Structure 1
Amino acid sequence: MDFAGFIHGERVAGKGAEIAVEDPSTGEVFERFPGLDAAQVASAIASARSAYDSGVWSDLPAKDRAAALGKFVAALAAQRERITDIVVREAGCPRHSGVMMAQVLAPLKHAGDTLKLFLSLPETEENPLPLDERINPMGQVVQSLRRYTPIGVVAGIAAYNFPFYTALWKIMPALITGNTLVLRPSPLTPLSALVFAEAAEAAGLPPGVLNIVVEAGLEGGKLMSSHADVDMVAFTGSTAVGEQIMVQAAPTMKRLQLELGGKSAQVFLPDALDQVLPNVMGVCMAHAGQGCALGTRIFIPEESKAELLPQIAGAVASIRVGPADAADTQMGPVISRAQVARCEHYVKAALEQGGTVVAGGARPEWLGDGFFFQPTVLDLPDNSNPAARDEIFGPVVSVIGYRDLDHAVAMANDSRFGLSGYVHGKDRKAALDVALKIKSGTVNVNAGVMSAYASSGGQRMSGIGRERGIEGLRIYQQLSCLNIGGV
């Protein structure tokens, strides 16, 4: 790459430490270039601040911002095949798998839908004052309004598992609501983010509205979550990093939107055990288990485990693991050698605490130097096992037996996370009754929704705030009350 940043409308070469982008399918470095240093990140923040304060973007009517961003999305859509190639190479997502839709096609659709949704929202809304409060003690007729305005400069930090998608989650709502943005992709998957610079140029976005910073280390990222000129931080990633961002943002009281880790439960009612096998396989094949909302804890009736576990083992063993670009690959690599080691660590910890490996459990040596881990199923004695407590972020699924549905719900809620949850049951009333007891930001009953119109977000250690939907737009806006009285 001949540039590592996009600052104030200009492509910028890096002056910092080298970025080495690895192909997870082979373990080889296929791209090297110097990343930005902290001073360059600071200049990107200054550019975003200047652009916001000038009003060149925030003062535009919403329909004009939407028109410019429509050109931005069109420029990206014209490059979708190239973006797909990049995601396959840098993220290791299998090209011919179903999950590839979520990498490129879905975010492009959601980007356009986000613009439509925002244009349907009012800039002001009336507060529902009771009739007896519409005349104040001085006899004046009063009206109370909620007014929404941009929050200012947003720092967006994207994740490596769905790099293009999680970046667009920041770009579209931040910009359509009138903010300016500094975007930092993961240094593991930086190349897809640099395509946004080309789209910004093609769309004619004013300088400073969208800035992109790629760095090898953490100094610039810390600056983005602590600098006084940044008003909000939007982050998708691990809970551990989210905790650090909260600490760094606290002295300047920044608005935070954090989508963090998960350890989501899938509860299978006794009448839906035929759904266990496809859902277990689906977790592993969903980008090698690298999804924060994936249901990696499988709760089935205790008396059914002996019959189901051999079937699950056979199904998982049939998953074709291989390079991301191979036509028959159903599950590709994880992102790095460190992530392989993390999977190995949790399998070992599970065994030490009474668990059993039903399938997989090791690195497939026959696949060369790529960052592969076998699709793995663990039979755990209870929900206290380390493999059931911590987010592994790999193709490792834990099967846990429950005595009755109250026991299943109790275990599902016995987690520091609360990002998503799943309930499967042919008796929809019974399944809904269970779902209403699950403490999670999203609960899916026999189906899921992937839409720009429906928000998602975490509870407890899975984060704060929402992404997508009305809530995912309003979080990028300041709310003020405007109270008006008649003479």
Structure 2
Amino acid sequence: MTLRSADTSALLVDNTSTLLIDGKLVPGSGGTFDVVNPATEEVIGQAAEATAADMDAAIDAARRAFDTTDWSRDHAFRARCLRQLCDALQSHLEELREVTIAEVGAPSMLTNGPQLAGPIEDLRYWADLVEGYAWDQDLGKATPMGIPTNRRLLKEAVGVVGAITPWNFPHQINFAKLGPALAAGNTVVLKPAPDTPWCAALVGKVIAEETDIPAGVVNVVTSTDHALGAQLSTDPRVDLISFTGSTATGRAVMAAASETLKKVFLELGGKSAFIVLDDTDIKAACSMAAFSVSVHAGQGCALSTRLLVPREKYDEAVAAAAKGMAGVGVGDPTKPGTICGPLISAKQRERVEGYLKLAVEEGGTIVTGGGRPDGLDRGYFVQPTLVAGLDNSSRVAQEEIFGPVLVILPYDGDDDAIRIANDSPYGLSGTVFGTDPARIDHVVRGVRTGTLGVNGGIWYSADAPFGGYKQSGIGREMGVAGFEEYLETKLVADLATS
């Protein structure tokens, strides 16, 4: 896939977008499909349309590469390849930035962090981990049933990984799977979301042309056909499915994978709580909540979308949150000051607008926002919106909206805040603002969620495990815990002769 900038207002992509299968860049057997810029609604090029036959070939290549090469056993080589890939991608950083902003609608400021630059640099973490990990551990001598035995614990790659990824943070999530899966010695078939195929396809091109990663170790299959994800899930040649997306789709993936009893890692939805204790600066905390839920148009599973505030300070909190949301920069994602860009598609905007209508039907009040921004006639934009007047049993407070929508809820005391936070099928993330360390610790230990930020602390890091409780998923991504999701454990017992 050759990218070039014709001018500052248009991104043109040759209609030769390709799949990566068995080390070769090949066209999709189904032709191509349109790629749309969500900020302009314009078709900006085409991506390769894979078919079931293409997916079959990719799985076969990954299986063969795992079974017949030394990839899984040569730790030093894998570490070198990961650093090589990191260097190669960094040499294409501006090209990738342009693609990411145009295809994802990501505000440009985020490409300096989790939308691009951060995940690329994280590849070095996985390379370092390969070299420092205890692949072979001595458990010492024991005498089970009186038989002297030396024991060793070996860590080995699972095998072929099917990685199915969403569109909201494509680089972050693609590399959060590719990095540890490859570091652990697996081969991978990556099926990216059809809304953001270029982010993955360009990485595939770099792998094929600028790294020593062997043929078949990484395969990239772009398609609008969601059945290809199901094909990955059911194929017995695939040993593990790593899926990030909605909880509903995660259930389907888990059910499909159960046919072959393959390992499943799921990072799913969230409806996280932003808890503001009564001993903190209410205005500052609520302004932070309003800002954070508006970033990237609220398209983040770990964003805190329920704002829990002391009942006696509810009116003050509503005013502060509304002021904060009204001040968020909405619009062109190419501009440095933009915080809230477009939603990914017309379908997603319709979904968000449906929830805003539902909020009113449920008895809520749209305090600020609630519509499309003035002056933005093109692009899938929705104003950052604050909803008040609902309780936690409402659908708008219970269901993941995936847009810049914040529901503000009153609580009565710290334990009630914990109860409301936990009154959700999800348990992915959350936030606590307060000043009393003992009260903060009580809330942190009481909320059943995989990550929690305290007073603005950032949990996002390559070495920090990320994942959720309850219906927010199974397993952890990132860190040593995420790395070990891609490993099997083998115990070797040798008869001790001396």
Same fold (TM over 0.5): yes
Deviation at 1:437?
A: 0.6
SS of equivalent to 1:393: coil
Give the Cα–Cα distance (whole angstroms) in 2 for the partners of residues 110 and 79 of structure 1. Answer: 16
Q: Which residue of 1 aligns with 2:26?
A: 12
Give the Cα–Cα distance (whole angstroms) in 1 for the partners of residues 253 and 392 of structure 2. Answer: 29
1:334–1:340 Cα contact (<8 Å) kept: yes
Tell me the TM-score normalized by structure 2: 0.93
Instruction: Note the 1:275-286 alignment, pairs <5 A.
Output: 275-286=284-295
Q: Which residue of 2 aligns with 1:196?
A: 203
Query: Is 1:401 aligned to residue 413 of structure 2?
Result: no
Deviation at 1:365?
A: 4.9
Unaligned runs of 5+ in 1: none
Give the Cα–Cα distance (whole angstroms) in 2 for the partners of residues 255 and 376 of structure 1. Answer: 39
- Amino acid of the residue matched to residue 68 of structure 2? S
Deviation at 1:33?
A: 4.2
1:101 to 113, 116, 133: 113
- Amino acid of the residue matched to residue 407 of structure 2? S
Q: Which residue of 1 aligns with 2:434?
A: 425
Query: Is 1:375 aligned to residue 388 of structure 2?
Result: no
Deviation at 1:121?
A: 1.4
Query: Is 1:221 aligned to residue 229 of structure 2?
Result: yes
Query: Is 1:158 aligned to residue 168 of structure 2?
Result: no
SS of equivalent to 1:344: helix
2:62 to 48, 51, 73: 48
Query: Is 1:211 aligned to residue 219 of structure 2?
Result: yes
2:55–2:221 Cα contact (<8 Å) kept: yes
Instruction: Note the 1:76-155 alignment, pairs <5 A.
Output: 76-95=89-108, 97-98=109-110, 100-127=112-139, 134-138=142-146, 140-155=147-162
SS of equivalent to 1:270: coil
SS of equivalent to 2:427: coil
Give the Cα–Cα distance (whole angstroms) in 1 for the partners of residues 159 and 336 of structure 2. Answer: 45
Give the Cα–Cα distance (whole angstroms) in 2 for the partners of residues 374 and 205 of structure 1. Answer: 44
Deviation at 1:126?
A: 4.3
2:125–2:462 Cα contact (<8 Å) kept: yes
Instruction: Note the 1:60-459 alignment, pairs <5 A.
Output: 60=74, 62-95=75-108, 97-98=109-110, 100-127=112-139, 134-138=142-146, 140-200=147-207, 201-272=209-280, 273-446=282-455, 447-459=457-469
SS of equivalent to 1:251: coil
Tell me the TM-score normalized by structure 1: 0.95
2:368–2:386 Cα contact (<8 Å) kept: yes
Percentage of identical aligned residues: 35
After superposition, the C-alpha distances for 1:374-429 in whole angstroms (9 at most, x for unaligned) are 00011143111111100000000110000111111001001101111211111122
1:284–1:331 Cα contact (<8 Å) kept: no
- Amino acid of the residue matched to residue 172 of structure 1? G
Deviation at 1:19?
A: 1.8
19-28 vs 394-403, greater mean Cα deviation: 19-28
Q: Which residue of 1 aligns with 2:46?
A: 32
Give the Cα–Cα distance (whole angstroms) in 2 for the partners of residues 221 and 174 of structure 1. Answer: 18
Deviation at 1:156?
A: 0.8
1:5–1:11 Cα contact (<8 Å) kept: yes
1:357–1:377 Cα contact (<8 Å) kept: yes
Give the Cα–Cα distance (whole angstroms) in 1 for the partners of residues 388 and 291 of structure 2. Answer: 18
- Amino acid of the residue matched to residue 21 of structure 1? V
- Amino acid of the residue matched to residue 304 of structure 2? G
Give the Cα–Cα distance (whole angstroms) in 1 for the partners of residues 291 and 118 of structure 2. Answer: 18
Structure 1 residues 55 and 33, CA gap change in structure 2 (3 angstroms): closer
459-468 vs 359-368, greater mean Cα deviation: 359-368
Give the Cα–Cα distance (whole angstroms) in 2 for the partners of residues 120 and 59 of structure 1. Answer: 15
Give the Cα–Cα distance (whole angstroms) in 1 for the partners of residues 48 and 301 of structure 2. Answer: 30
After superposition, the C-alpha distances for 1:141-177 in whole angstroms (9 at most, x for unaligned) are 3343321101111011111011111111111111111
Structure 1 residues 251 and 415, CA gap change in structure 2 (3 angstroms): same
2:272–2:306 Cα contact (<8 Å) kept: yes
1:462 to 472, 477, 484: 472
Give the Cα–Cα distance (whole angstroms) in 1 for the partners of residues 63 and 374 of structure 2. Answer: 50
> How many equivalent residue pairs?
480
After superposition, the C-alpha distances for 1:344-385 in whole angstroms (9 at most, x for unaligned) are 111121222221111101122520121000000111431111
394-403 vs 351-360, greater mean Cα deviation: 351-360
Q: Which residue of 2 aligns with 1:472?
A: 482
SS of equivalent to 1:258: strand
SS of equivalent to 1:252: coil
Deviation at 1:124?
A: 2.3
